[in-house]
Amino acid sequence: MSAPAAPLLELVDLARHFPVRSAFGRRVGWLRAVDGVSLQVRPGETLGLVGESGCGKSTLGKTVMGIYPPTAGEIRFAGREIGRLPRRARRAVAKDLQYVYQDPGASLDPRWKIGPSLHEPLRIHTRLTRTERDREVGAILAAVGLPDAHLDLYPHELSGGQQRRVGLARILTLRPRLVILDEPTSGLDVSVQASVLKLFRSLQETFALTYVFISHDLAVVRAMCAGIAVMYLGKIVECGPTTRVFEAPRHPYTQSLLAAVPRIGGRRVTADFALEGEPPNPRDIPSGCRFRTRCPLAQARCTAEEPSLRPLDGRTVACHFA
């Protein structure tokens, strides 16, 4: 096998903390939404980022995107550290690194027609003439499967699915290299979800995109992502090739997560579902291993020492006893 390509996106111990303030504005603690995450995404890959609410995956996406400044750690994009850039330089990175909201249609200004909305990214970042921009926009519209006639319509005159495609098109006009997809299929019907996923696949081929796919839907992640990282309370607990992690999860949380997914056909999974309780409040993270309060394997060492990610069986796991 040839040497692996340099990662397009690399996170080194990235952290994002939010201050928790009392009624009088005094800071009484920290909400450690992202608390030391390291991972790598290679060009052309699709990395799935999964976890339940409160695990920090959305915050991670927004921090990488620059919507939140990082509290600690590094974000390296194409070899360049971008987490601490001044505002104007950071804005220029948007050309290569983009972010798709759960509802891309909502990212459109409702008072702007589609045409100007699609031209806008080009007007911000390039010096193309009107004709050149028209050509670019036309190409992108075709790539997402929308007719030219839509350029003259307002967002509310399009269906939800069409708005979604326009939202994607707007980002693609910049020809980004990496796109962060934040819960792109959440709340969608299964049949609509299928067409959206197919669209993502075809766009990835057409535009040579790299994806970071944030989702809580494990079935979707399994179908779309070659690699997967599982998050719990701000840290990655298991990370590796999707097939390996799904076939034989090593971290107790991953095991519970996969066991909880309802499956069609066969035995009822919930009949044996064993994980009790709820995740602790992110403002009050347990010492040592964060999962120890619910983990069937927890022992004294788990309270004292926080496990770090170590390689095991073709992936990395953060557990003392996996």
Partner 1 sequence: MIQNVSAAWFVVTRLARDRSALIGLVLIALLVLAAVLAPVLATHPDDVFELHPSERLKEPSGAHWLGTDRMGADVYSRLLFGARITILIGVIAVGASLALGVPIGLVAGYHHGWASDLLMRVSDIFLAVPQVVLAIAIAQTLGPSLPNVILALSVTYWPWFARVVYAETRALQKEVFVESTTALGASPWRLTVLHVLPNIASPIIVRASIGMGFTILTAAALGFLGLGPPPPTPEWGRTIAESREFLPDAWWYAAAPGVAIFLTVMGFNLLGDGLRDVLDPRLRRSAARDG
Partner 2 sequence: MAELLAVRGLRVDFATDRGPAQVLDGINLDIATGEVVGLVGESGCGKTTLARAILGILPEGAARIRGGEVRFQGTDLLRQDPATVNEHVRGRAITFIPQDPFTSFSPLFPIGTQIMDLMKWKSPRARNGAGPSSIFGRYPRERHRADREAVLDTLRAVQIPEPARALRRLPHEFSGGQRQRLMIAMALLPQPDLIIADEPTTALDVTIQAQILRLLRALVKERGVSVLFTTHDLGTAHEICDRVVVMYAGQEMEAAPTDAFFGRPAHPYTRQLLASVPGPDGEIREIRGEVPSLVTPPSGCRFHPRCDYATAECRDQRPAPRALASDHGVRCHHPVDAPAGAGA
Contact set with partner 2 (CB under 8 A):
52-53, 159, 161, 189-195, 197-198, 201, 216, 218-220, 222-224, 246, 256-257, 259-265, 268-271, 273, 275-276, 278
Q: Report what 275 binds from partner 1, partner 2, none; CB cut-off 5-8 Å by kind.
A: partner 2
Size of interface with partner 1, in residues (CB under 8 A): 28
**CB of residue 168 to partner 1, shortest distance in Å:** 12
Cα–Cα dist 37/68, whole Å: 15
Give the length of the chain: 322
Contacting residue, 42, 113, 222, 244, with partner 1 by CB under 8 A: 113
Helix extents (H) in the chain: 57-65, 87-93, 114-125, 130-144, 160-172, 190-207, 218-224, 242-247, 252-260, 300-304
Per-position DSSP letters for 111-155, written without gaps between them: TS-HHHHHHHHHHHH----HHHHHHHHHHHHHHHT--GGGGGS-G
252's enclosing H/E stretch is: helix 252-260
**CB of residue 122 to partner 2, shortest distance in Å:** 31
The answer to whether residue 99 forms part of the interface with partner 1 (CB under 8 A) is yes
Query: In angstroms, what CA-CA distances link 78 with 40, 45, 87, 240?
Result: 11, 14, 19, 21
Footprint on residues 138-197 left by partner 1 (CB under 8 A): 156, 167, 170-171, 174
Q: Report what 65 binds from partner 1, partner 2, none; CB cut-off 5-8 Å by kind.
A: partner 1
109: phi then psi, degrees, rounded to nearest 5: -70, 120
Q: Report what 120 binds from partner 1, partner 2, none; CB cut-off 5-8 Å by kind.
A: partner 1
8-state DSSP, 200: H
Residue number with CB closer to partner 1 (9 or 322): 9
Residues forming the site for partner 1 (CB under 8 A):
65-67, 91-92, 94-95, 98-99, 101, 103, 106-113, 120-121, 124-125, 156, 167, 170-171, 174
